[in-house]
Structure 1
Amino acid sequence: MEALAVVWALKHFHDIIYNYPVTVYTNHSAVTQLFLGKNLTGRLARWFLTVEQFQAEIKYLPGRASLVPDALSRNVVIAAVTQVHNFSHQDLTILAQGNDPIWSKVIYAQESGDETSLPKLPIPLRELDIHNDILTLTVQVYDREVQQIVIPDSLVPTVLHFVHDAPQAGHPGRDKTLAMARLKYYIGQKCA
């Protein structure tokens, strides 16, 4: 796909870049080797010939060194959850938290101030709070405090499905879906 992107871009910008020196920076090291032209057949040979027309120089630049293009290619938008009631399944979340053996005790402890019956928690109690009847976790994301909705184990598959299939998500893979979910929701470590 990276090689095809190079070929497509060269063809697309043909009128602008033809007869000018062209340097293509890629964070995919295999692309640099691919266009050296050794033992190519079929489609790769055609792509090589296209790149050769432009006398393009292809250089490897690690992803962490190319911050602007790397940031542009990311699909994750960090948005603080300022009002928990925007969550479309609020009643389901409240019910699931209330029925969860761990989080129901945390909610009781938060509301009553009685921490004696609390089990060992994966996160400090002081970082948990209740907003609009929903248990949330306060975390630091970059330079902002964000309220994550605490998701009981019973709702994790539903939330991951919701995040994965959101129109703005772009149909991400497993790791990106988890990363996107963890921006708004505390889903524990079971999915790691």
Structure 2
Amino acid sequence: MNVPGVILAGGLSRRMGGGNKWLLPLGGRPVLSHVVERLAPQVSAMALNANDIPDGVATDLPVIADTVPDRPGPLAGILAAMEWAAGQGASHVVTVAADTPFFPEDLVVRLAAEADATGAPIVLAATREDGRRHPTFGLWSVALAADLGEALAAGTRKIVLWTDAHGAVSAMFDGDPFFNLNTPEDLARAEAMVA
């Protein structure tokens, strides 16, 4: 499956004290650069879902903002990703979180393999040890964009409530590759991992 990818960076980063977590330095460069480096070899094209780019910050990626007002959360970013991918002529899109620099280097191929095996329109990453789903890491059929837009307009905010209603399945990964940067302590842990 030749699939484009979108990095979800539209959140408010409240637990980190606000701002854009993806711009924080990690190993001497922005967190976003680690995410781009991981995702680029896995996808046919890439975009960044962000709702505000600070002055003076440049990115080589196309930036797509939420198409739903009031920043209702990651589902809005997923909708923007679906709409962008559909405009690229793609049948599916992969999303990853901008604050998760160590996600698997075989993420996309494994999500796609699960989609092929099951025929599911949505495949979410999950960790084998605890079965926990990481719903910002997923493969999404862009055919669901209109349905997701309606769900957001009706007030749906929790990703898994919407995905469970659409037959989502999980692709299992070992360890903790979806460790994300929510707090300054998480950033310190990531610095130690990079070092």
Global fold match (TM > 0.5): no
Give the TM-score taking structure 1 as reference length: 0.24
More relative contact order, 1 or 2 (CA 8 Å, 6+ apart): 2
| The structure with more radius of gyration | 1
